[in-house]
Every structure is written in C-alpha cells, then in structure tokens.
Amino acid sequence: MIDTLRLTAEEAKRLLDSREISGAELFAAYRAAIDERDEELHCYLHLCDDPGGDGIPIALKDVIGTKGIPTTAGSKILEGYVPVYDSTVVERLKSHGLRILGKTNTDEFAMGSSTENSAFGPSHNPWDPSRVPGGSGGGSAAAVTGGLAPWALGSDTGGSIKQPSALCGNVGLRPTYGTVSRYGIVAFASSLDQVGPVAKTVRDCAYLYSIIAGRDDRDTTTVELPQPVELPEATDLKGLRVGVPKELNEAEGIEPGVTAAVQAAIARLEELGAEVGECSLSLSVEYGMPCYYLIAPAEASSNLARYDGVRYGYRAAAAERLEMYERTRDEGFGDEPKRRIMVGTYALSAGYYDAYYGQAQKVRTVIKREHDALFETFDALVSPTSPTVAFPLGARTDDPLAMYLSDVLTIPSCMAGLPGLNVPCGLSEGLPVGLQLVGPQFGENALFRIGHALERAIGFDPVPERLR
C-alpha cells in the first residue's frame, strides 16, 4: 500500500524508476487519498483524469494556466474559464513526465493570507481543520501536508508560498524574481509574482525548482540561472555565515512559541558549524509593508482591468454595455480584489502617481540595497516565516489589516526580489512553526544546503499528529 502521507517525490521517483509501482498505481493512490480527505480539507477546485504515463503526480495552484483544464484564480469572475494553452511551467512539468492531479484552492487572484478569500470556500489546515492553511496558496500547501499530492506549485507575491508552507509544516520556495517564467500565470502584481515549489523535503523542493527554472522567450523578465540547481547533500554548515536580522526576529506580534522554536533552530545552525551573527533590516521592515501595499494594488488595478465580461469568464446580464461592465465586475469580484483595485487605482491616478506609486518604487530600491549590503557579509538571513502559527478560520476575516500583518516577515525580501525558503522547525501549541531563510539573488543553492542540513538535524515529522 502506498502511504501518500509520507511518500516524498524523490522516493516516488525511485519506486517508479525501479518499476516497484506503476504510474497508474501512484496516481490512483493520490486520487484515493483525495477522495478520503479532501471533503474535509477542500484543497482542490478541480480534479484531472489520469493522463497516463509513468511520471510523478503534481498539484497546481489555480492561478497556473492549464490547457483544457479550468483555471479560475479562486474567483467567480473566471468561473468556467478554460485556457487554450499551457503556461510555460506546465509545459516544463509535462516535458519531465509529471502528471497533473488537479488545481488547488487559492485566495481570489492570490490576494490573501488564509485562503478564506476564495470564491469557492476556504481550505482547511490538515493539522487542525478548524484553522487556516495560510494563503494565498493554502490549497497547495494543505494538499502536500495532507498527503493529497507529493508536491505542488504555488505562486508568491508577498508570501503566498512561504507563509502557507509555514502554517502547514512543509517546505516552500519563493525563487529569485525572474528565474521562473510567468507566461500563462494569472497576474496579480507583475513585478512581484513568482511561481515556486511546495514539497515535503528540501531535496524535493530543489528538484522541482530545477524543472521549472530558466529563461523563457515569452517572458522577457526571465533569465538563465548562473549555475545549475544542486540537490543538497551536506549535513554540516561549516564555512557558511547566517545573519539574524533583529527587526525580523523581534517584530511586534511574534508569538512566544514561534520565537522559541526559531531560536532553537538558530542554535542548531551554530551546532552544524554555521557562523551566526546579528544584523539589521530596519528600513526594510519599517517600510516594506506600506511599500508593498502601494505597489501590489497598483499593479493589480492594471492587471485586473481586463476582466470585463467580454472575452472570457463571468458576464452579468445587462441591457447596456457600460452597465454590463459595471455589473460584471461588481458581481464577479469579491471584497478583497475590489479593495485592492480601488487602492491601486487611486495610487495610479492623475496627480497621485508620483506621490504614491513612484515614491514606493524609490523606497523599494532602498529595501533592495539594504538587503544587498547584508549579503556582503552573510550567505543567508534567518527569521520566523509567520509571526503566528495557523489561526482559527474566521479570526481575521473582518480585520483586513490583521490579515495583512500575517505577511509582515515575508514581504521585505519579496520587495527586494530575493529567494526565500520556508523550513519547518518545530511545533507551538501542537501546530507547525516555519523558519524563513532568505538568500541573495540566485542564492537558492545555499538556501537548499542550509535548509537540508537543518531539516536533517531537527527531524521534524511533517505528518499531522491527527493523521498518523
């Protein structure tokens, strides 16, 4: 019997290569797990038929365009939309024989930190279904932890891979901006969006990243990796220098249990041979969130202007064209996209562009320079990924600011376009705590090395106690 709760993608590949199991048996095992547990967890918005072949199954966040498979971005306005082409990342998955299990739930247009903004209902955390799995990619993270997929792809704008991975207790990578193509991805904020892997182990995460990364002529922001992706082997960290930004580790709102688990993990880094030192990201932490909530909504306002009921997706009934536009957008978008569209449109409007969006872009340069200066001394930075463990469903839905603060620790490095890796580092209140490792541009291999060594040293059990 295939234990989908513990099977890693690396082990699945070994079993397939040795013909101990067939591709059909593996796909069927995950579909059986989905049938058993997804009614409770609601990770998937759409399931796919077995396409045949002998590759590893994978789940895809429902902002990733898939030919012939519905892609809704968690929004009523795209309900029923079926792309006529594959995104570049899906093309690359298929070229490696990977088989799509289905499309996972997401906050609408990837706007949220709990997956409660989905037009199709929230996902639930496999550790405790009364709690959120994080967001916006809560469906992908919950699917991997719940044994409903061996690995998955998510997308990250301000923390939407790292934060759900932290709350669900798995490994998630937000890659360096420009290393993964955005072609065929439903856009939120184009200067921030990045697709990345969610997996049970750091090695699985690195392997999936190696499949999807690289230049794409259809996305002019992409670049070739300066060095190949390495699957980490080392279990010591001798020669590596890790910085501990004071402001990210002592920020207001970090729960004591989170601090304790992260501090214990930092001590492990020293035991493994890393040189650990305190540092500062004062400007990045102070200005990161206000800067993000000007740039991201402004770009969302522009990107979401295309949803007008004319070419695809939801269309409201109306006698006049202008009324159709208005009613389609009013009925099709949920509260959070409307909120961000209004903020972003205001920031881009005549007379305010330079004062808001233009100024935020200047601050963003300051944030990047502050990070770059630290990487002259350190190979990686470490902090909690989320200030809290998974919070109860409904706890923050009436307080947008409290919800936004869920990403206060992940946003600064996202604004700088830098890679970030979440690694589970322990439990607090019986729920996972995530450790965030941030590296310099193209620094993924160092993050994988540190994360792998830490993963081996901590021995975190990724299977929720209630499912063991």
Structure tokens at 441: 């541009």
Exposed, middle or buried, 243 (CB in 10 Å: 0-12/13-18/19+)? buried
Distance of CA 179 to CAs 45, 211, 219, 441, 442, Å?
Answer: 28, 11, 10, 10, 8
Q: Which of 75, 114, 160, 284 is catalytic?
A: 160
The sheet with strand 380-384 has its strands ordered as: 44-47, 99-104, 57-61, 151-156, 194-199, 171-174, 420-428, 431-438, 380-384, 241-245, 275-279
Amino acid at 281: L
Is 94 among the residues known to form the active site?
Answer: no
Q: Which of 61, 103, 162, 200 is catalytic?
A: 61
Strand-pair partners of 431: 428
Structure tokens at 420: 């970030």
SS (H, E, C) 211-238: HHECCECCECCCCCCCCCCCCCCCCCCC
Query: Which has the closest alpha carbon to 208: 232, 183, 173?
Result: 173
| Virtual torsion, Cα 157, 63, 201, 20, nearest 10 deg | -170
Alpha carbons 468 and 462: distance in angstroms, whole number? 10
Is 75 among the residues known to form the active site?
Answer: no
DSSP designation for 131? B
Residue where the block lists tokens 């990578």: 173
Query: Which has the closest alpha carbon to 201: 209, 189, 211?
Result: 209
Is 362 among the residues known to form the active site?
Answer: no
% helix, strand, coil for the chain, step of 5: 40, 15, 45
DSSP codes, 383-451: EESSSSSPPBTTSSTT-HHHHHGGGTTTHHHHHTT--EEEEEEEEETTEEEEEEEE-STT-HHHHHHHH
Strand-pair partners of 64: 185
Crossing angle of the two packed helices 282-303 and 335-348, in degrees rounded to 10? 100
Q: Which of 113, 118, 136, 210 is catalytic?
A: 136
Query: Which has the closest alpha carbon to 435: 380, 386, 375, 374?
Result: 386
Alpha carbons 16 and 211: distance in angstroms, whole number? 18
Annotated active-site positions, please?
A: 61, 136, 160
